[in-house]
Structure 1
Amino acid sequence: MQPTESTPTLKKNKEKSNYYGLLFASPWILGLMLFYAFPLLSSVYFSFTSYSILQPGNFVGLQNYKDLMNDDLFWKSIYNTVYFAVFFVPLSIIFGIALAMVLNIKVKGMAVYRTVFFLPTLVPHIALAVLWMWLLNPGFGLVNGMLHSIGIEGPAWLGSETWSKPSLVFMSLWGIGQAIVIYLAGLADIPQDYYDASDVDGANWFQKIRTITLPLLTPVIFFNLVMGVIGAFQQFTLPYALTKGQGSPANSMTFYVMYLYDNGFKFFKMGYASAMAWILFVIIMVLTAIIFWSSKRWVHYQGK
């Protein structure tokens, strides 16, 4: 028999291993504490103060939150953000699944088509904003030019209070290539045996989609739904670049994070902006919790 290490030796080796583990993880731990934990806890305190970048401010309790409840632009930004989320998230799921199913067809050269649909996600949002500002220009834009050729007078798009947010939804749908890739991975994970069995039973393509594809794709839909809701409520770069930070016309493009940014870095009302940040955090947490709670009823995992 080979000799075994004694209990004190094993304990000493374990302590040594833990020491080296903490030593190598210490840069990450320090970074987490310095750049995440400290700012996070600081923002909680600042949300109860009149702190600005230029002055330390005073403790004001819940005054920032009370002022937000009476701020018309605050409620306007919430409306704009919810409007975008309500339309963009479901449409991104519908179009994402539909395009993924088309791109999942086994035909020659499909890899090229998949690449083409993914390419818009690689375009920086600033470049994307400039591109669509030209396309949706009411005077000489390509979109209105095409509509005019078939006898339809195109709207002002980004210059219209009615059409500005639908325009932004349309632009955002152009860049759902990343979600399409995730849906393609989910489709590839569905066993072919299910489709073969449905062929034996005489199921048509619609019945296959309704009873096989969509139920087994629900875990991927669930993931994209959560990420889509979080991303929609954090919409910032595209509307900010399109309106040059003005949120025009008539604040119809002033989104929540844009107004938060303006308060923090334009008006130097850091306490006010911190209060807005924590309200946004609570809203996203509540919506995410509701989605997780409802997922028990509609998300189906293979083997369960």
Structure 2
Amino acid sequence: MKIRIGTRGSRLALWQAKSVEEAIREEEKDARTELVILQTKGDRILDRPLSEIGDKGLFVSEFEQALSEGRIDLAVHSAKDLPARLAPGLTISAVLPRGDARDVLLLPRGGKRPGQGRNFVLGTGSQRRILQARLLWEGVSCRPIRGNVETRIRKLKEGGYDGILLAKAGLDRLEIGPETEPELEFHPLEPERFLPAACQGIIVAEGREARDGTDPLAALCRRITREETAMCFETERRVLEELEADCSQAAAAWCRLDGERLRLDARYGERVCRLSGAPSREEGKRLAIRAARLLRGEMRE
């Protein structure tokens, strides 16, 4: 079986695609894989914040077209980049184990600290990060920043910002940290205080819907899926779907299995809710619907 895997061309995107490739080969020794690099609209437009140029589909639409046309068999995404609804005929085929969901504050060593005076310039264009940064630290001014992880770190080191926010999972996958960047400080932000984007740290493979239960690629993708992560992925996406939220809004969701409980923390603007229930996909759906109603002010906890 030959499997063509679509991916963006950045070092992080290639790492993610190769992780899917490795998972496939571990399950199916005879599988032959090929990485197909595509450029998206979001990769081409780098001079404006994502919230100004469209929704999360900016990084996905070209892949969905290639899937629909049969030019690739799977498309690998960072799950937080997915639009609320996939194109007709497509589905999430595989969900890999989650990385660290936290955001990280990067600062030049010995430089300014947020919350210690005025005019701290923070590099982020995310409405979620902007809102939470302003709630957490006084005197923060947020300025848009675009580009891949390495580009954003370079802009910080060049003095364009006093600090930037990045996803820890991406830093971990690229092996970027205090050992590789000794002139920088890395401060992970605990999710209870700074909620991550829905599905942050999760890698998914999107594919065509199987016509029947005998499709070998669909069966293979089910075998490489981590069920716990898939449950959290579906719950967090359902929160965004119920809120009808995209990247132009300050929305967040973080679901995890905590012992025998499924816990969900969610934010929409300045409203936050924290819920828990039994660990099942059906309960996750119920929690997501309840969270959205609470965040819209339609009911009380």
Using the size of structure 1 for normalisation, the TM-score is 0.25
Q: Which has the larger radius of gyration?
A: 1
Q: Relative contact order: is structure 1 or structure 2 higher (C-alpha 8 Å, sep ≥ 6)? A: 1
Using the size of structure 2 for normalisation, the TM-score is 0.25
